[in-house]
Amino acid sequence: MIKGRRRPGRYGESYRLEEIWADPEEIGGTIMKMERNYPGLKSKIFILTEGPGDYEFYSRFFNCELSEIRFANSKENVIKIIDSLSDRLKEDAESSVIGIVDRDFSFFMPDGTEERENVFMTDTHDIETMIISDELIGRVLEYYRKHSAGGEFQRNMTIGLRKESILSSIVRCSVLIGLSLYVNQKYGFNMTFKHINCKKKNLFLEFTDPVTFRCDEDKLLSLISGRNKAKYEDFMAALSVEKAKNPDYFDHPMQLCRGHDLMCALLADINVNYPQMDGRKVLLRDLERLFRNLYDRNEFYRTELFHSLEKWSEDNISEMSKSLFDRSKNHQSMMAAERC
């Protein structure tokens, strides 16, 4: 990265993906150059993430003068790149490169990621489930309320019809999808769920009432069946077995639900009850970015993920451990951030 330039995408501005792509050759070459020029003294830590959204999120918490953040396009690629660099650089890689990935379903079905010293996982299924809260949802909805073209009376009526918090409601709308995906992965059915999304058309409106937030499970299962007829009977049998065998799945909704599904359920509410002044529909990527931007950074420093990262830095790069994380909030720190 060019010295003196703000880290691409740090504050949500546009950037070219090639600027933040995880190139193993570039990373390996830089690490070897640092070790050659400054033996025993680390000047940069490389942090690999899954995608551009992860890059934007984690950029808020690391000192950009001491870190380079890249995305590798998948959890598997993050691990492959770290393994490749470890083979080439040996001990240098152990204290120069780390990966941060989604936990996915490993809370229920460990996949070995938790045993890796240089790879760290979100506390829950993914970033969105780790950061979401009733308070954050409130801030997001207040933003869309301020930019809405009226609809106050309808929103008040809708709130009166709901019996629980919005977070509880969108979890109920998403937990069956999460369990279905888990069963698909555990039993190796290789079914497709890609059509159940909200990128172009919000399919959640097919089985979710945007007023009451009630989820029609029969309609959801019908959508799953539509693209997976040959495997649907076996899938339903396995789903019944898992429900009966492990009722505690639903005691850990943030491990089971995908953040994208929670966002899609909420998006159904926003686009129906918060019509925007510019007449445009709110898109999933915009909603997810708003959640990341409105997230209270102090909450991150209370996560298990942060405590694990902090422990790693103390053990491996003690000379720069206290400076690696960007925790300052004063005006000078903001000016420093502008230079990254």
Secondary structure (H, E, C), the chain = CCCCCCCCCCCCCCCCHHHCECCHHHHHHHHHHHHHHCCCCCCCEEEEECCHHHHHHHCCCECCCCEEEEECCCHHHHHHHHHHHHHHHCHHHHCCEEEEECCCCCCCCCCCHHHCCCEEECCCCCHHHHHCCHHHHHHHHHHHHHCECCCHHHHHHHHHHCCCCHHHHHHHHHHHHHHHHHHHHHHCCCCCCCCCCCCCCCHHHHCECCCCCCECHHHHHHHHHHCCHHHHHHHHHHHHHHHHHCHHHHHCHHHHCCHHHHHHHHHHHHHHHCCECCCCCCCHHHHHHHHHHHCCHHHHCCCHHHHHHHHHHHHHCCCCHHHHECCCCCHHHHHHHHCC
Handedness of CA 197, 202, 207, 212 (dihedral sign): positive
Q: Which residue has the higher pLDDT, 119 or 15?
A: 119
Asked whether residue 218 carries a pLDDT value surpassing 90, the answer given is yes
State whether 151 and 89 are in the same domain: no
Residues 245 and 190 reside in one and the same domain: yes
Do 117 and 138 have their domain in common?
Answer: no
| 247 vs 189: which has the higher pLDDT | 189
Cα separation, 109 vs 330, whole angstroms = 43
Whether the CB-CB separation of 100 and 120 falls below 8 Å is answered with yes
7 occurs within a structural domain = no
The lowest-confidence range among 29-38, 77-86, 158-167, 244-253 is 29-38
Query: Does the pLDDT of residue 206 top 60, yes or no?
Result: yes
Indicate the pLDDT class of residue 248, thresholds 50, 70 and 90: confident
Tell me whether residue 10 is in a domain: no
For position 210, what pLDDT does the model report? Answer: 81
Q: How many domains does the chain have?
A: 2
Question: What pLDDT is attached to residue 331?
Answer: 37
Q: Which domain, by its residues, includes 51?
A: 17-123+303-338
- Answer whether residue 333 shows pLDDT above 60: no
Q: Verify that 166 and 232 share a domain, yes or no.
A: yes
Which residue type, as a one-letter code, is found at position 322? Answer: K
Query: Rounded distance, CA 71 to CA 77, Å?
Result: 9
More confident residue, 89 or 183: 183
Same domain, 23 and 111: yes
Note the pLDDT of residue 158: 72
Q: Which of residues 307 and 209 earns the better pLDDT score?
A: 307
Residue 22 vs residue 78, higher pLDDT:
78
Question: Does the pLDDT value for residue 42 go beyond 80?
Answer: no
69 Cβ partners below 8 Å, 6+ apart? Answer: 7, 20, 46, 47, 48, 49, 55, 58, 59, 62
Task: Fill in the amino acid letter for 109.
Answer: M
Assigned domain for 3 exists: no
> Are residues 187 and 328 located together in one domain of the fold?
no
What are phi and psi for residue 211, nearest 5 degrees?
-90, -55
Of 102 and 208, the structure prediction assigns the larger pLDDT to: 102
- Record the tokens describing residue 130, joined without a space: 């780790």
Q: How far is CA 34 from CA 42, 53, 93, 135, 325, in A?
A: 7, 28, 12, 43, 20
Residues 161 and 215 in one domain: yes
Confidence at residue 93, expressed as pLDDT on a 0 to 100 scale = 67
Residue 9 lies in a domain: no
- Confirm whether 4 is domain-assigned: no
Scan for tokens 């009376």, then name that residue. 153
In this structure, the answer to whether residues 144 and 291 fall within a common structural domain is yes
What is the structure's pLDDT at 39? Answer: 54
Handedness of CA 130, 135, 140, 141 (dihedral sign): positive
| Lowest mean per-residue pLDDT among 29-33, 56-60, 164-168 | 29-33
Does the structure show a pLDDT above 80 at 32? no
Looking at the structure, tell me whether residues 85 and 134 fall in a common domain. Answer: no
Residues 213 and 264 in one domain: yes
Mean pLDDT computed over every residue of the chain:
86
User: Does residue 93 sit in the same domain as residue 216?
Assistant: no
Does residue 291 form part of some domain? Answer: yes
Question: Tens digits of per-residue pLDDT, 60-101?
Answer: 999 999 998 999 989 999 998 888 888 877 776 678 899 999
143 shares a domain with 279: yes
**Sign of torsion over alpha carbons 103, 108, 111, 114:** positive
Residue 137 lies in a domain: yes
What CA–CA distances, in Å, run from 188 to 6, 69, 146, 196? Answer: 44, 33, 46, 19
Q: What is the pLDDT of residues 263-299, one digit of tens each?
A: 999 999 899 889 899 989 999 999 999 999 999 999 9
In-domain check, residue 8? no
Task: Give me the pLDDT at residue 21, please.
Answer: 74
